[in-house]
Chains A and B, each alone.
Chain A
Amino acid sequence: MKKLVIGVVLVNLLAACASEKPKEPEVVAPAPAPVMAAPEPVPAPAPEPVVEVDPLNDPSNILAKRSVYFPFDVSAVQEADKPLIEAHAKYLSEHADRKVRLEGNADERGSNEYNLALGQRRAESVKKMMVLGGAMPGQIETISYGEEKPLCTDHNEACWSQNRRTDIKY
């Protein structure tokens, strides 16, 4: 849904650009040069408004993705998720004041305590990759909810796969 909205916005922008014809140069008689006794100090040009969009808040940025998913009983980061984690690592390395909390989760299979440990390790493995990618360890806190905070509570793989994850929370 989100992607669709972004697409529509982009198309509108392009349409707006296309409809704007370049203005034709107007021929104007040169105004008489003002008579000045002394050059007045020219006011410094107003600084252009610096619109720095935090990439964290840009929904089209990879940083908008904040969850990393895992297979059953696995805590190693999957190949497909590496670019995402590396992007967050780069962001953290460029924003030393930002802190992040990694929340590991597990599906309900296994014991509660084992899943708590597994969730912790899922958070740790994301942290490790972030530190390799340039983030400082002090920027990252890792915790685990184990199986205690499921996004989905049915007893099936479609549900479990959503619960095996590490959430990246800024």
Chain B
Amino acid sequence: MVLRVLRGMLGLLVLVQASIAYAGLSIEIIGAGEHQIPIAMVPFGGDASLGQSIYEVVVGDLQRSGLFRMVDPAGKLPHELAEVSYPDWQLRGADALAIGSVSKQANGRIEARFRLLDVVKQADLGGQVVSARDGQVRAIGHRIADIIYEKLTGDKGVFSTRIAYVNRQGQHFDLVVADSDGYNEQIVLASNKPIISPAWSPDGSHLAYVSFETGHAVVYVQSLYTNQRKVLADFRGSNSSPAWSPDGKQLAVVLTRDGSSQIYLVRPDGKGIRRITFSGAIDTEPYFSPDGEYLLFTSDRGGSAQIYRLQLKGGLEQRLTFGEGNNYSPRYDPNGKDFVFTHFENGKFQIAVQDFQTGQMQLLTGGGWEKKPSFAPNGKLILFASEARGRGILATVSSDGRVQQHMFTQSGDAREPVWGPHLF
């Protein structure tokens, strides 16, 4: 099973290698989805007059998902429904067509009007107007990509969501929040001491993280709106690995205040601390199930690092990973049916997914230095930390393992990535 997936991926590596490079960040896409939807997208009328092309953002998003194949408009450039001749697009092999135009409003806002057409059925799938302040043009592109993605795949798009990660340059550490494609980076915390384990609150308003700025690992919770923060846990030894419950009313953290690293629950104000594992071994990396009733975590209680599940009501604990190698960093698929984690075997770290029902593990990557996976909120993409050209980079892989994307930040090592929630 694992071999088959790996072989499939190797075959795909040579199939498609698209590369999109901008000033600060470069993105490489490797592989192709099994059933790609051929879509033609015509550069929006007026797009060239913008400092940032909306068209490029939408195309980049759709390509990274691995679910679309971009069809060259080859000279046909309609911007209005009346200008569209369906046979032109059927000839080009497109199943869908997106057209539109952008303009700057009197109040300074940028407005994009676009329309999605079903070329096969020759049907109008609907049009929408998306607008934003000048300077947030990329956000317009992500929103349009989300709408196209949802209309054509039936799943909610995640292009408008955000990610968090730590960028390390020598002894300098930045906690960064960026768009899902790595652009629009904002530094949330800059420090000359390590920062690890950022975790999004379910509403996307706060980040919990671990900072060593006082000399040891302390957990903080910081508002992304006000930048105000408070200490969540600062006991002796190490305080680490925060994870929010789905209702946002408590966090799981790992403390060594009673000896070895054990899992505790705490309210977001740092009060009401309650210990919930009692193994005496290493218990760490807790992560809540979507229904909030279970925690996945990493433990070496059986002699090596493996994934376990704890039922919060009743305390039943169950080992989930067996076989060769060690396993770390588990996270639930938003659908609750499987979980993703880091598998370590024969000196290689790879991203793997395991079905709860069958217990089958499937490797999604094959490079050898892939760690810390987290699902996009729609469960279709997985963000992880990787390494290329001697640097730590961010990467994504589609949940079927077929399409990978590498994101190179401007400089330094990107690490500890985590995908944020949908924002409403």
Interface on A for B, CB 8 Å cutoff?
73, 109-114, 116-121, 124, 141-146, 148-149, 155
* Contact A117 to B284, CB < 8 A, known contacts A112-B416, A124-B260: yes
Q: What are the residues of chain A within 8 A of B285 when measuring CB–CB?
A: 111, 113-114
* Contact A73 to B305, CB < 8 A, known contacts A113-B329, A144-B217, A148-B196: yes
Q: Are B305 and A110 in contact (CB under 8 A)?
A: yes
Q: What are the residues of chain A within 8 A of B369 when measuring CB–CB?
A: 155
Q: What are the residues of chain A within 8 A of B254 when measuring CB–CB?
A: 113, 117
Query: Please, how many angstroms separate the alpha-carbon atoms of A115 and B390 in the complex?
Result: 22
Q: Are B196 and A146 in contact (CB under 8 A)?
A: yes
CB distance from B92 to the nearest CB of A (A): 47
Measured CB to CB, the nearest residue on chain B to A142 is: B237
Interface of B is mostly: strand
CB distance from A148 to the nearest CB of B (A): 4
Measured CB to CB, the nearest residue on chain B to A141 is: B236
Q: Does B302 contact A (CB under 8 A)?
A: no
Q: Which of B261, B342, B371 is in CB contact (< 8 Å) with A117? A: B261
Q: Which of A109, A111, A120, A146 is in CB contact (< 8 Å) with B298? A: A111
CB distance from B295 to the nearest CB of A (A): 14
Query: Please, how many angstroms separate the alpha-carbon atoms of A149 and B168 in the complex?
Result: 12
Q: Are A114 and B282 in contact (CB under 8 A)?
A: yes
Interface size class of B (residues with CB under 8 A): 35 or more
Q: Does B197 contact A (CB under 8 A)?
A: yes
Instruction: With a 10 A CB-CB cut-off, give which of A73, A111, A116, A146 has the most chain B CB atoms.
Output: A111
Q: Does B194 contact A (CB under 8 A)?
A: yes
Q: What are the residues of chain B within 8 A of A148 when measuring CB–CB?
A: 194, 196, 212
- Further pairs besides A113-B196, A113-B298: 5, Cβ < 8 Å: A109-B349, A114-B282, A117-B261, A124-B256, A141-B236
26 pairs from A and B in contact (CB 8 Å cutoff): A73-B300, A73-B305, A110-B328, A111-B371, A111-B372, A112-B416, A113-B197, A113-B240, A113-B284, A114-B300, A114-B328, A116-B217, A116-B238, A116-B261, A117-B254, A117-B260, A120-B238, A120-B256, A124-B237, A124-B260, A143-B216, A144-B216, A144-B217, A144-B238, A148-B212, A155-B369
Contact pattern, B 322-342, Cβ under 8 Å of A = 1, otherwise 0 = 000010110000000000001
Q: Does B215 contact A (CB under 8 A)?
A: yes
Task: Please provide the chain B residues from 396 to 424 with a CB less than 8 Å away from any CB of chain A in the complex.
Answer: 415-416
CB distance from A110 to the nearest CB of B (A): 6
Measured CB to CB, the nearest residue on chain B to A157 is: B347
Query: Please, how many angstroms separate the alpha-carbon atoms of A111 and B328 in the complex?
Result: 6
Q: Which of B194, B236, B344 is in CB contact (< 8 Å) with A145? A: B194
CB distance from A143 to the nearest CB of B (A): 4
Q: What are the residues of chain A within 8 A of B282 when measuring CB–CB?
A: 114, 117-118, 121
Contact pattern, B 207-228, Cβ under 8 Å of A = 1, otherwise 0 = 0001010011100000000000
Q: What are the residues of chain A within 8 A of B19 when measuring CB–CB?
A: none
Query: Please, how many angstroms separate the alpha-carbon atoms of A73 and B240 in the complex?
Result: 19
Q: Are A112 and B260 in contact (CB under 8 A)?
A: no
Q: What are the residues of chain A within 8 A of B371 when measuring CB–CB?
A: 111-112
Query: Please, how many angstroms separate the alpha-carbon atoms of A111 and B296 in the complex?
Result: 15
Q: What are the residues of chain B within 8 A of A117 when measuring CB–CB?
A: 238, 240, 254, 256, 260-261, 282, 284
